[in-house]
Structure 1
Amino acid sequence: MIQVVVVDDHPVVRDGVVATISAAPDLEVIGQAASGPDAVRVVASSDPDVVVMDLRMPAGGGVEAVREMKSRGLRASVLVLTTYDTDSETVAAIEAGATGYLLKDSSASTLIEAIRSTAAGETVLSPAIATRLASHVHSPSRRATLSAREREVLLLVARGTPNRLIAKELFVSEATVKTHLTHIFDKLGVSDRAAAVATAYELGILG
């Protein structure tokens, strides 16, 4: 079971997210919080796999909570669930160490798959947030274009698809997927999946 803590200051929203997560057979909500400080305490005591985190909370925001969790060495991956694709705190959360970013208008199935991907160490970015991130990554190298297969791999990465499912979808081995990703990173001048997706949107490779 993937264990999840849900953090949102709005009880109705939080209850809806909890209900959505609880409906998945492999996900379990083991804690809830209504502020950043509460989130840190709950995560420290319960040790979940994933934290689904709102950013704007009056009693203490998500960005500070992400920073604090990372500084304490807590292992949970953080999936930010935000209302605004232009929220400057989204970039701050990325820099603080959050690994997944979805808008609150995402479908229930998208949220569930995003949690699974985040738990597996994959980066999940909604297109709007990827575009926002793109302006904060280093200028990409344009020395090469992506092959058709590399674009297929990157599109699946942008959808939050884990390597094992990318391999299944494209009828190749996981090792081949990793090789494609290495080539993609090199061509785009980036070092991780989030930056690759963001840069690809910036260059119009994905869109």
Structure 2
Amino acid sequence: MGRGSGQGTSRIAVCSGDQLRRDALAAYLSGLPDFTVVGRVVDGTHLVPLVELERPHIVLIDGGQRPGDTVPTLQLLHGRHPSARLVLAYERLSAEDFAAAREAGVAAVVPYAHGLGGLVSVLRGLASGVDPDANGVGLTGRQREILLLVASGHQVSEIAEMLDISPGTVENHKRRVYAKLNATSAAHAVARAATLGIIGSTPAAQPAPPADGPRGDGGQTPLAVVVGFAGPVLDRVVTTLIGHRVAVVREHCPQATPQIHWHRSHRGPVVRVLVDPAADQWRVGATLGWAAVMVHDGRVDRRTMGEALTNGVLALVHGDHVEARLMPAMHLAAGGYMVMDPASSGLFTDSMWNWSADLPPVVPRLTAREHDILRSIGRNQTVRQTARALGIAMKTVENAQGHLFSKLGVHNRAAALAKAYTLGLLQPADGSVQLVR
């Protein structure tokens, strides 16, 4: 989660019952140099133990449409940890809710209407009065590293070799992690840390996601495979990733990627960062089911946009905005979300409507259920959200989605969306697509 206990950063915990907002806030704040996200949780039940463990400087709570419901949690946190700055974000706030929140010790209330810029401004104002070295009793940076490696299935000897420390030192750190998390085993510690949002859920504890589905929950820092020709933009990309403590692999020979060691041993999400890619640099990641972020120079034409989406690109970042936007885009793409520059959204819908020169003219006949699934993809809903909206089982959604992909001749959700536009199955003007910005 975040970048560990970085020097000069304010530690922040995020709580939201809305998964998209929770993921987006954590990913965005993790990409800023002055914040370290120590955990993200769904409600007050999990927030209290997270704050007990990590002692964050700031606690950001998303109150949504019912901010008054958060008051008991706010009162409890303020009573136990009065030094923590409590921030309440909300959609609507009554005078009674405001008075109750202030009495509960809230340091700031921020309406959704102020946007991310307003929220970050408030957080930075609060952070200016805290001691960034007051890290409480939470996990140290080394303990987080070891916990993440344990969660990824590495043995003590492998962890010792990777971190260049002795196996005995690894065991000592593991014991301290267990004590802090009140855990009795590696599995218990990983489950406890995942519940508190300190790390993402261990891949070994869940079935592998399909190639077209989410590639991580945004809580675990992805491994970045950087593709592109040498130049100042690629240098800035690599420098930015290293500065955020992201593991970076420079891909010089795309055909060899599946055979090299890190691909076989890495258990977490992999995101390719394509810097103005050439034709032969697109496809390897797509065949392996990896998400991709494309860093472009602003001259993305319709055909390039279609090629990007067909080959797994879920995020577009302008080369001028690498330092500010690459990390948030990577975290969201790893979670399966589509992200693009505001200037690119019009090009996206135009390209999907017009990119048809190389596609067969025959429009497949879809069932009513497949149309429902297609519209759900256009709304950027997950399989779980689709199942809930349609009142059917997730397995039914997955089966219908597989039939839809087969009829469209595609292998992932982005390609299905592109094909649907070109065949007229979705209209740019009907509001089906909701782009995460």
TM class by shorter chain equals 0.5 to 0.7
* Match of residue 46 from structure 1: 246
Equivalences for 1:140-159 in 2 at 5 Å? Answer: 142=363, 144-159=364-379
Q: Do structure 1's residue 29 and structure 2's residue 229 form an aligned pair?
A: no
TM-score by length of 2: 0.30
Is the contact between residue 78 and residue 118 of structure 1 (CA under 8 Å) also seen in structure 2? yes
Q: Aligned Cα RMSD in Å?
A: 4.7
Q: CA deviation at 1:94?
A: 4.7
Aligned mates of 2:361, 2:332 — CA distance in 1: 26
Is the contact between residue 353 and residue 424 of structure 2 (CA under 8 Å) also seen in structure 1? no
Helix, strand or coil: the match of 1:100? Answer: strand
* Match of residue 139 from structure 2: none
Aligned mates of 2:32, 2:399 — CA distance in 1: 37
Helix, strand or coil: the match of 1:190? Answer: coil
Aligned mates of 2:292, 2:417 — CA distance in 1: 18
Q: CA distance change for structure 1 residues 168 and 26 in 2, over 3 Å: closer, same or farther?
A: farther
Q: CA distance change for structure 1 residues 87 and 133 in 2, over 3 Å: closer, same or farther?
A: closer
Name stretches of at least 5 consecutive residues in structure 2 with no aligned partner: 4-20, 34-231, 249-268, 319-328, 340-344, 428-437
Residues 54-83 of structure 1 show CA distances to partners (whole Å, capped at 9, x for unaligned) of x8xxxxx4326x949x68xxx973244775
* Match of residue 292 from structure 2: 78
TM-score by length of 1: 0.55
Helix, strand or coil: the match of 1:90? Answer: helix
* Match of residue 139 from structure 1: 360
Q: Out of 79-88 and 38-47, give the one that drifted further.
A: 79-88
Name stretches of at least 5 consecutive residues in structure 1 with no aligned partner: 4-20, 56-60, 105-113
* Match of residue 183 from structure 1: 403
Q: Do structure 1's residue 120 and structure 2's residue 342 form an aligned pair?
A: no
Q: CA deviation at 1:190?
A: 2.7
Q: Which amino acid aligns with 1:25?
A: L
Q: Which amino acid aligns with 2:335?
A: A
Q: Which amino acid aligns with 2:25?
A: P
Is the contact between residue 303 and residue 351 of structure 2 (CA under 8 Å) also seen in structure 1? no
* Match of residue 130 from structure 1: 352
* Match of residue 62 from structure 1: 276
Is the contact between residue 153 and residue 180 of structure 1 (CA under 8 Å) also seen in structure 2? yes
Is the contact between residue 312 and residue 412 of structure 2 (CA under 8 Å) also seen in structure 1? no
Q: CA distance change for structure 1 residues 163 and 133 in 2, over 3 Å: closer, same or farther?
A: farther
Aligned mates of 1:141, 1:167 — CA distance in 2: 29
Aligned mates of 1:161, 1:2 — CA distance in 2: 25
Aligned mates of 2:384, 2:399 — CA distance in 1: 13
Q: Which amino acid aligns with 2:334?
A: A
Helix, strand or coil: the match of 2:25? Answer: coil
Helix, strand or coil: the match of 2:292? Answer: strand
Between the two proteins, what is the percent identity of the paired residues? 24
More RCO (CA 8 Å, sep 6+) = 1
Is the contact between residue 141 and residue 187 of structure 1 (CA under 8 Å) also seen in structure 2? no
Equivalences for 1:164-183 in 2 at 5 Å? Answer: 164-183=384-403
Aligned mates of 2:237, 2:376 — CA distance in 1: 31
Is the contact between residue 354 and residue 422 of structure 2 (CA under 8 Å) also seen in structure 1? no
